[in-house]
Chain A
Amino acid sequence: MNYSISHLDELESESIFILREVAAQFENSVILFSGGKDSILMTYLAVKAFYPAKVPFQLLHVDTGHNFEETLNYRDQLVNKYDLKLKVGYVQEAIDQGFVHEESGVNASRNGLQIYTLLDELEKGKYDAAMGGGRRDEEKARAKERFFSHRDEFGQWDPKNQRPELWNIFNGKKKPGEHFRIFPISNWTELDVWQYLAQEKVPLPSLYFAHEREVIERDGILLARSPYIPLKNGENVFKEKVRCRTIGDVTCTGVWRSKATTIEEIIEEVATSRMTERGGRSDDKRSETSMEDRKKEGYF
């Protein structure tokens, strides 16, 4: 008898184990839903983990106001299909109330402003665990992130004082006011995510597939033309066949020249790619350690 299972089945089993552990160890948990493929995967795995019962977590979307329209449509369809509960936090509200100030200039982005709204929503909702779709292969500061990552009462991460994680025993003990960030798909790579979404035939937002779009080129990265991105002198708008490899705020999500119109073609492209998916994220390029700096403040 051969009792081995494929790497995708093993990753699925591990993530389902983590999601059930969250439901068992925490009282009020939430899935951070960005509309990207990783949060879609996490939501889909949560549906699997508790079937035939409903997902025992809420979904929280932090809306910067600078969205791709396709993302919001997809989100609402997903929520309907699996009878999920959605909570939306608006960055615009924090700006209007003067809690955060909008960046100015041509590279202005609300990506950094999300942290305030995120922490505010976590506090208002009294969530004790927030699940993110972060993966360790994405970025070097994430390579050492735990599945269960403890945050103090200010939502901060202390990379020097992380709890060791051994075998599959996870310590979710905390004091009142503290919470956990949980990363159920830590061990998946970009390629694993695509292979699994293909295997499971999970429908995906159209942005991930190649389509013709108006774009501009800035610092070697293609950005989708949008009213939220003012043009610099000398920049031209042109049409290109492109797709997204990650989906975030419009102002910082690069698009890539691509001909991939099916998930199989995407896998082929990812498998032979010479650039990491975050290579198109201008928020990571601000300094050598920008991800680590943002994470310490409370970014996912």
Chain B
Amino acid sequence: MSDKDLETQLLRFTTAGSVDDGKSTLIGRLLYDSKSIFQDQYEQIEAISERRGEEEVNLALLTDGLKAEREQGITIDVAYRYFSTPKRKFIIADTPGHIQYTRNMVTGASTANVALLLVDARNGVSEQTRRHAIIASLLKIPHVVVCINKMDLVDYKEEAFNKIRSDFKDFATKLDVTDVSFIPMSALKGDNVVERSDNMDWYEGSTLMYYLENVHISSDHNFIDCRFPVQYVIRPYNDKFHDYRGYAGRVSGGVFKKGDTVIALPSGFSTTITGIHTFDGELDDAHPPQSVTFTLKDEIDISRGDMIVRPNNQPEVSQNIEVMLCWFDHTKPLQNKGKYFLKHTSTEAKCLIEEIKYKLDINTLHRIQENFSVKSNDIARVSIRTTKPLFFDEYSKNRTTGSIILVDSQTNNTVAAGMII
């Protein structure tokens, strides 16, 4: 076993749902059973629960951060939670599940390796479940776990589990989700969350915690298509590094090696990587998600927003992109022919909304093509023209080089997120 195998990996997952699904209880259970809740945190929520006259310690209080939320008893933003086991460190993006918070779900989903979809075993696959699955599919979350919760309330019956599993599979054939698992559980009682359940002998799969600790995430990045958006140029201007000119960035795809022939976009000039540098010394290769600095053989003009790639594997270069856009702004709708500021990898440009093709009903996947406007939390298919060429890949090939955001030029707010088709 190499040292690498002993190291702890980082896994990011998202949970979407409401308190009614037992989402907060599930997160509370994961934190509590992995011994990630501290005594003073526990005492604090114990005291609040008691003051409010609640019978049991309300674990939801652990995940409901802001004052307004605690007053209203709902989670209205993405909250990040952390816990770890000896095998992995976990970052939970905890998002509200209601349709008016689609933007929060999209935000949480954008960086997740795994999506947990909660289903109440009594109610089966609901509109909310379908919506969450559609978002997981649009945002290309590599792994999906359908957590069939509250099994204790259906007497731990296998039939209830099988019915939900087959209903979900029927629906998922329309989606682009490749890796789906189903786990029957009771977050409240602790069945199959961290500890194996004694109540469901018929279930031979793993517990949720075992799944999270072991699901294969090393291939979640694209290691084929070499993409290096230049983020910053490092010029030391001192005697020791007099002629040093380093191109700093985070590898977005592929594996770059010292000695590789590369070209710089947009100039198209070809050169060789002479060194892959870090503070801790040179590396032989660099891959996602490493932050490194390249030095190149030839002095060519490269600056932030340029992209270093391999000559025989280049991204698309165009001023016209097709995107699935999630609109965020609650003050005004997406403007057809409107002008916005667009950010993509380390570059930015002005852009024009050329055409809004249709709006997606995110409960049914139905395309709405007539008499619609794109309001906050809506998802639409849009054609965009930019003032300068972008170097991009389809989002389904690369989540980093295939994603954009739009910024309102008056308010500077982030008003939309888009996945390039």
Q: Which residues of A contact B (CB under 8 A)?
A: 1-14, 16-17, 20-21, 23-24, 47-54, 136-137, 140-141, 143-144, 159-160, 162-169, 171, 173-175, 186-187, 189, 191-192, 273-276, 279, 288-289, 292
Q: Which residue of A lies closest to B402 (CB)?
A: A167
Q: How far is the CB of A284 from chain B (nearest CB, A)?
A: 10
Q: Which residue of B lies closest to A166 (CB)?
A: B110
> Using a CB-CB cutoff of 8 Å, which residues 215-263 of chain B contact chain A?
217-218, 221, 223, 231-232, 234-238, 240-241, 244, 246, 248-250, 255
Mask, B395-410, CB within 8 Å of A = 1, is 0000110011101000
B-chain residues with CB within 8 Å of residue A137 when the two chains form the complex = 81-82
A-chain residues with CB within 8 Å of residue B417 when the two chains form the complex = 164, 166
Query: Can you list 23 A-B contacts with CB-CB less than 8 angstroms, sorted by A residue number?
Result: A3-B223, A3-B255, A5-B290, A7-B84, A7-B88, A16-B250, A20-B232, A20-B249, A48-B280, A50-B234, A50-B248, A52-B234, A52-B240, A53-B234, A53-B241, A140-B65, A144-B77, A160-B68, A162-B77, A164-B103, A166-B405, A173-B412, A275-B40
Bound-state Cα–Cα, A62 to B22, Å: 44
Question: How many residue pairs bridge A and B at CB < 8 Å?
Answer: 174
> Using a CB-CB cutoff of 8 Å, which residues 321-370 of chain B contact chain A?
328, 341, 343-346
Bound-state Cα–Cα, A143 to B234, Å: 33
| B10 beta carbon closer than 8 Å to chain A | yes
Q: Which residues of B contact A (CB under 8 A)?
A: 4, 7-10, 38-41, 44, 48, 62, 64-68, 76-82, 84, 88-89, 91, 103-104, 106-107, 110-111, 217-218, 221, 223, 231-232, 234-238, 240-241, 244, 246, 248-250, 255, 277-280, 287-291, 304, 328, 341, 343-346, 399-400, 403-405, 407, 412-414, 417
B-chain residues with CB within 8 Å of residue A24 when the two chains form the complex = 231-232, 304, 346
A-chain residues with CB within 8 Å of residue B91 when the two chains form the complex = 187
With contact pairs A20-B291, A52-B241, A164-B417 given, residues A141 and B66 touching in the complex (Cβ less than 8 Å): yes
Q: A171 contacts which of B279, B288, B412 (Cβ < 8 Å)? A: B412
Query: Which 6 pairs across A and B sit closest by C-beta, in order of nearness?
Result: A6-B7, A48-B279, A7-B10, A166-B110, A173-B412, A274-B39
Q: B65 contacts which of A8, A52, A143, A160 (Cβ < 8 Å)? A: A143
Contact A167 B255 (CB under 8 A): no
Contact A4 B4 (CB under 8 A): yes
Q: How far is the CB of A110 from chain B (nearest CB, A)?
A: 24
With contact pairs A144-B77, A166-B417, A279-B38 given, residues A3 and B66 touching in the complex (Cβ less than 8 Å): no
Q: Which residue of A lies closest to B78 (CB)?
A: A144
Contact A276 B40 (CB under 8 A): yes
Q: Which residue of A lies closest to B305 (CB)?
A: A24
B-chain residues with CB within 8 Å of residue A47 when the two chains form the complex = 279
Contact A189 B84 (CB under 8 A): yes
Bound-state Cα–Cα, A140 to B48, Å: 14
Contact B41 A175 (CB under 8 A): no
B-chain residues with CB within 8 Å of residue A3 when the two chains form the complex = 218, 221, 223, 255, 287-288
Bound-state Cα–Cα, A9 to B9, Å: 9
Contact B80 A144 (CB under 8 A): yes
Q: How far is the CB of A230 from chain B (nearest CB, A)?
A: 26
Bound-state Cα–Cα, A2 to B106, Å: 30
Bound-state Cα–Cα, A49 to B292, Å: 8
B-chain residues with CB within 8 Å of residue A168 when the two chains form the complex = 111, 250, 400
Q: B218 contacts which of A4, A159, A166 (Cβ < 8 Å)? A: A4
Q: B39 contacts which of A4, A165, A175, A275 (Cβ < 8 Å)? A: A275
Bound-state Cα–Cα, A292 to B70, Å: 12
Contact A53 B279 (CB under 8 A): no
Bound-state Cα–Cα, A167 to B419, Å: 11
Contact B279 A289 (CB under 8 A): no
Bound-state Cα–Cα, A20 to B400, Å: 17
B-chain residues with CB within 8 Å of residue A165 when the two chains form the complex = 107, 414
A-chain residues with CB within 8 Å of residue B277 when the two chains form the complex = 51
Q: Which of A21, A53, A166 has the most CB of B within 10 A?
A: A166
Q: Which residue of B lies closest to A279 (CB)?
A: B40
Contact B399 A288 (CB under 8 A): no
Bound-state Cα–Cα, A63 to B317, Å: 52
Bound-state Cα–Cα, A10 to B89, Å: 11
Q: How far is the CB of A62 from chain B (nearest CB, A)?
A: 26
Bound-state Cα–Cα, A32 to B247, Å: 27
A-chain residues with CB within 8 Å of residue B7 when the two chains form the complex = 5-7
Q: How far is the CB of B86 from chain A (nearest CB, A)?
A: 10
Contact B78 A53 (CB under 8 A): no
